[in-house]
Amino acid sequence: MLKSKIHIILIITLMLAGTARMSAQTVPPATDEDKLIAVIQSSDATHKEKVDACRGLALIGTEKSIAPLVALLGDEKLSHMARYALETIKDPAVDEVLRDALGKLRGTPLVGVIGSVGVRRDAKAVETLTKMLRDSDAVVAQAAARALGSIGNSTAASALENELKRTSGQNKLNVCEGLFRCAETAVAEGRKQQAIEIYDQLRKLDDPHQVCGGAVRGAILTRQKEGLPLLKEYLRSDSYILFSAACQTALEMSGTEVTQALTAALNDLPVDKEILVIWTLGKRGDPAAVPALSAAAGSGEKSVRIVAIEAMPQIGHASAVPVLADLLADNDSEISKAAEEALAAIPGDQADAAIMAMLNNTETEPRLMALELIGRRRMTSSVPALLKAAEGPDAKVRQAALKRVGELGSPAEFSALLELLVQFESRQDLDAAEQALSAVCAKADNPASYTSKITNQLTKATPAQKSALLRVLSIIGGTDALNAVRKAAKDSNAQVSDAAIRVLCSWKTADAAPDLLALAKNSSDNARKTAALRGYINLARDGSLSTSKKLEICRQAAALIQRDEEKKLLLGALSTVPALEALSMAMAHIEEPAIRDEAAFAAVAIGEQIAEQKPREVIEAMQKALKATNNTNVNRRGRMVLNKAKQAAGQ
Amino acid sequence: MQKNKTNLSRRAFLKRTAAWLTAPCIVPASVFGRNGAVPPSERIILGGIGIGNRGSHDLRWMLPEADVQFVATCDPQRSRAEAVKQIVDTRYGNKDCVIYHDTREFLAERTDIDAVLVTTGDRWHAFASILAMRAGKDVYSEKPSSMTVAEGQGVVDTARRYRRIYQTGTQRLSEGNFTFCNEMLRLGRLGDVHTVRAHIAPWDAAEMRHDWLPAEPLPPKEEVDWDAWLGPCPWRPYNSSYTRGGWRGFYDFHTSCIGEWGAHTFAQCQVGMGAADTSAIEYKYVNNESGDKMETLFANGIKMILERDMDNKYFHGSCAIRYEGTEGWVAVGDGYSKPDVSNPAMLDDFRKLVYDYQARTGRPMSHVRDFLDCVKSRRQPVANPVVMHRSMTTVHAANICMWLKRDLKFDPVKEEFINDPQANRFRSRAMREPWII
């Protein structure tokens, strides 16, 4: 006796270690089964320890765990965990003990066991479960209905069919659930006729609606091709629920005959139903629906027409293209817009061809529409036609075509565009050509290789053309381009020199710095002076510059600045310079009311970058900056920088 | 800006919907009853189950929709239900939102409700969705869609059985950046895709907690119905931390760091690679705490690798994915202005690809709107039961691989592990009575 007690205590001790391990280790070793059994049988083990033991047995339990677990089924606190372990043990002996427990338990433990019997699909439990369908406890009766459904054999189905005739409310819903499960099993096991009979019973019920609708689906799909007449019948139903069930079912059916059933149903439907059929046709994607959709798109209620147009790209068939093209000219702007949207997305060469035909129209509006669609469809093969359109007499078409060349073209179009540009005179044409030329240059691997071609044209171009070409040079960049711009800045023609200086002022790289500094210092024109100074300050943002070079630019600029606008610009540039001197320069403005937010922002941004290298200086700056600004975002970031700096300073 | 431009169909839809709503109903709801099918011209009557922090976001996206009327919420925690009522009543300027505490009573009583927003803790997602669909409601459920393979199967079966519309809240499936990446893959613009990478959450571990938090006095049932809160999970003593979100990390309530983000990213990758109706077939165990760098393999030959680091050489942000092919790669996560690409020219077609996707599928770039549209059109939304079940099966299998610390093979047709009975035991968990389905 004493030896036995010691043995149990030893096991419990071992298990406590094991249980503790369960907190961190999901799977116990298979050799732990005896220990786990000992825990669930022990009167000394806690509830938690027994729960954990059941968890373990759910993963490693074998035949020898069954009896100890079954002993817990009547325990309301542990019944669930016993099933938790038992459900996963494949041994048929589990079915026997659960079946046996069905006759002994009451209340929630019984409900749980019924559930487990269903999960394990124990066919031998059908008789007992059938009796439970009329249990006075509704929860038991409902669980039994579902479990019978999970078992799903013919006997279970018959029991549920009998019960269906006399039940109501939630019990009826659960009997229906059981019957659905039976029908699904019947289909899976080749008992198709039985499934059809079940679905037919359910679909003819007056309620619940979800059962009727679900059964319509099952009844049609299970009949396969023979389900088509039933589909047609429900497409004529006055009930929107059954009608929508038919439409939804059609989504799961392939074949032109289904499409025909849907399109035939379109006649004389109320708008809501018509829309639902059209949505269904679109989603099914059968091109055979296009004629019916075209008819619906062509006339009638506007909301239906629009839905029909939107369905076209979902089908994506070329036969929709002429219809959509015609609808582009519809008097109703919502219809024509919907057609445009559809044409933009409908795939394929035929749609491309229809749009190219529109481009060859003699009227301006269709051609502009074609150009819009060419862009949206990204029809890169259209570029030669676009260049041709860009040479034409219609200014609107020319400019839209040039815009598309910029979007869709490649550097291969450079020469053609350059040639066009130097033929244009109007500002609108030149702007369009300049934009297109800039866009294709930006796509080049080596844009500088185009510089000489542009500079060659500069000599013979008109002032307006030169101005445009100089702006293209600013996109290309590089030494040769900069030299050409410098030269143009000294041009005797004011329009050219003005354009060149504007280009200089927006130059992106620091090789223009000496030019801009000189202009900012020496120009007699105040506006030009300001533009140069602003351009010069912006150069400090060039990411390729060293910190010292950036600082140098900021120093030079600071000496020239007089207005708050440029001070703000400088503070923005300083925020990108990770240097103590930049911090000092920013903090010099922290007391100036008009710009203290910008100064604080710059100080915080610099502080973020140098907090670890210069913690003490950053702490001092942040404390001042936080006092100076009420900006929430800057304050939040400033506090983070302050903390970072304090940490770096060991505070 | 881009988002707006690629969202024309949604705007157009809403405009038309608003027009219909102001017109006399052609088919009055009273003729047809409710919650079986919502005609295009009708409002969708919406209810909520377990709406908390995350659910409030979903709710705030749904309430402004012109064809939605939210009428009731159900929660075993009174304070949460009251917070939802306040949001709804404030929105509508009345006091009409009704509170329920018992889900079964709520679903049985409110036959007027067409659809429910399920945003409980993870443990209740599948269970509540199944109950709601069985009661004839369409469901928008937060992720993850299931705690086990069996639960996922239950969601799929129930949705089919009652022809319900179901969407999981994996909203990135309805965002332009992520859609672009999927379209790049679908259209073959990355060449033969051999590898995809999926973010998993950079906190927590794959190993789960089985401990209990210290017992606290049980609050009155009308304040917190603890038994209902636990639902189908094993009983444990009450501790208020669980009810405030502290349930994460526990085996009974959560799907680990892998499920936390994998619910999003695995679905994203599987939709992208055209494997949304299957699951990975091989899982290589990695000897770390999280599953970081685990390689999974799909039957189409594509590897999906789990990535844990927030900012790594493949992507940054959160819930990121990356597709790698013989002709290039794309990557995207939260916070990207545009996807990262191996060649900038790939982005030239960004707008077109996203627009074409919307036109081809009829899906807007709004996850909530996609669901609401589908409630009316009866087509399945992008994060439908099959997509979510199959991608969550990959999540579950990856977790099981980590828990068993060995490689696993999975048969996606039979939905069982191959030659591994112990792994198969993880596919389901007995539900606690009376919370059984």
For every residue of B140-206, DSSP letters joined together read EEPSP--SSHHHHHHHHHHHHHTT--EEES-GGGGSHHHHHHHHHHHTTTTSSEEEEEEE--SSS-S
Determine the average pLDDT of the residues in B245-258.
97
Q: Which of B20, B26, B422 sits opposite A270 (nearest CB)?
A: B26
> What's the pLDDT band for B319 if we cut at 50, 70, 90?
very high
Place of tokens 């589909």: A231
Closest to A505 (Cα-Cα) out of A469, A481, A475, A529: A529
Tens digit of each residue's pLDDT (9 = 90 or more) over A448-467: 999 999 999 998 999 999 99
Closest to B273 (Cα-Cα) out of B391, B389, B174: B391
* CA–CA dist B409, B419 (Å, integer): 8
Tell me, yes or no, if B434 comes closer than 8 A to chain A by beta carbon.
yes
pLDDT at A25: 54
**Token output for A595:** 């710009």
* CA–CA dist A260, A255 (Å, integer): 9
| Chain B residue nearest residue A218, CA to CA | B161
Domain count, chain B: 1
Best of A19, A27, A90 to mutate (most B CBs within 10 Å, chain B)? A27
pLDDT at B4: 36
Best of B7, B113, B433, B437 to mutate (most A CBs within 10 Å, chain A)? B433
* CA–CA dist B310, B203 (Å, integer): 10
Chain B positions touching A116 (Cβ under 8 A) are 430
Closest to A30 (Cα-Cα) out of A68, A59, A9: A59
Chain A positions touching B437 (Cβ under 8 A) are 115, 146
Element (H, E) at A242: helix A240-250
Helix (H, G, I), strand (E, B) or coil at A543: coil
CB-CB contact of B174 with B292 (8 Å): no
Tell me, yes or no, if B426 comes closer than 8 A to chain A by beta carbon.
yes
pLDDT at A10: 41
Residue B144, domain CATH? 3.40.50.720
Determine the average pLDDT of the residues in B233-260.
97
| Chain B residue nearest residue A85, CA to CA | B430
Q: Which of B8, B163, B210 sits opposite A214 (nearest CB)?
A: B163
Tell me, yes or no, if B379 comes closer than 8 A to chain A by beta carbon.
yes
> Is B152 inside a domain boundary?
yes
* CA–CA dist B13, A307 (Å, integer): 9
> Is B225 inside a domain boundary?
no
pLDDT at B36: 55
> Is B429 inside a domain boundary?
no
- The predicted complex's ipTM stands at 0.93
CB-CB contact of B430 with A119 (8 Å): yes
Enumerate residues 6+ apart whose C-beta is below 8 A from A524: none
CB-CB contact of A109 with B433 (8 Å): yes
Task: Indicate yes or no: CB of A376 within 8 angstroms of CB of B355.
Answer: yes
> Is B433 inside a domain boundary?
no
> What's the pLDDT band for B34 if we cut at 50, 70, 90?
very low
Task: Indicate yes or no: CB of B430 within 8 angstroms of CB of A87.
Answer: yes
> Is B165 inside a domain boundary?
yes
Helix (H, G, I), strand (E, B) or coil at B116: strand
Tell me, yes or no, if B203 comes closer than 8 A to chain A by beta carbon.
no
pLDDT averaged over every residue in chain B = 92
Tens digit of each residue's pLDDT (9 = 90 or more) over A570-595: 999 999 999 999 999 999 999 999 99
For every residue of A602-630, DSSP letters joined together read HHHHHHHHHTTTSHHHHHHHHHHHHHH--
The amino acid that residue A261 corresponds to is A
Q: Which of A52, A80, A311 sits opposite B235 (nearest CB)?
A: A80
pLDDT at A11: 42
Chain A positions touching B403 (Cβ under 8 A) are 26-27
Q: Count Cβ atoms below 10 Å from residue B354 Cβ, excluding itself.
A: 24
> Is B301 inside a domain boundary?
no
Record the pTM: 0.86
> Is B164 inside a domain boundary?
yes
pLDDT at A26: 73
Task: Indicate yes or no: CB of B430 within 8 angstroms of CB of A83.
Answer: yes
* CA–CA dist A2, A7 (Å, integer): 8
> Is B136 inside a domain boundary?
yes
* CA–CA dist A183, A193 (Å, integer): 9
Query: How many CA atoms, within 13 angstroms, populate the side-chain half-sphere of residue B27?
Result: 24
* CA–CA dist A101, B229 (Å, integer): 28
* CA–CA dist A257, A225 (Å, integer): 9
Minimal C-alpha gap between B215 and chain A (Å):
12
Q: Which of B33, B42, B379 sits opposite A209 (nearest CB)?
A: B33
Is the confidence at residue B16, as pLDDT, over 50?
no
Q: What is the dihedral of CA B58, B61, B63, B66, to 10 degrees?
A: -140
What range defines the domain where residue B161 resides?
2-172
Q: Which of A79, A112, A276 sits opposite B436 (nearest CB)?
A: A112
pLDDT at B195: 98
**Token output for A256:** 């032109």
**Peptide bond between residue A463 and the one before it cis (omega within 30 degrees of 0):** no
Chain B positions touching A184 (Cβ under 8 A) are 157, 161
Which residues in chain A show pLDDT less than 70? 1-25
Q: Which of B162, B352, B433 sits opposite A376 (nearest CB)?
A: B352
Task: Indicate yes or no: CB of A112 within 8 angstroms of CB of B433.
Answer: yes
Q: Which of A84, A90, A214 sits opposite B161 (nearest CB)?
A: A214
A to B CB pairs, distance under 8 Å: 204
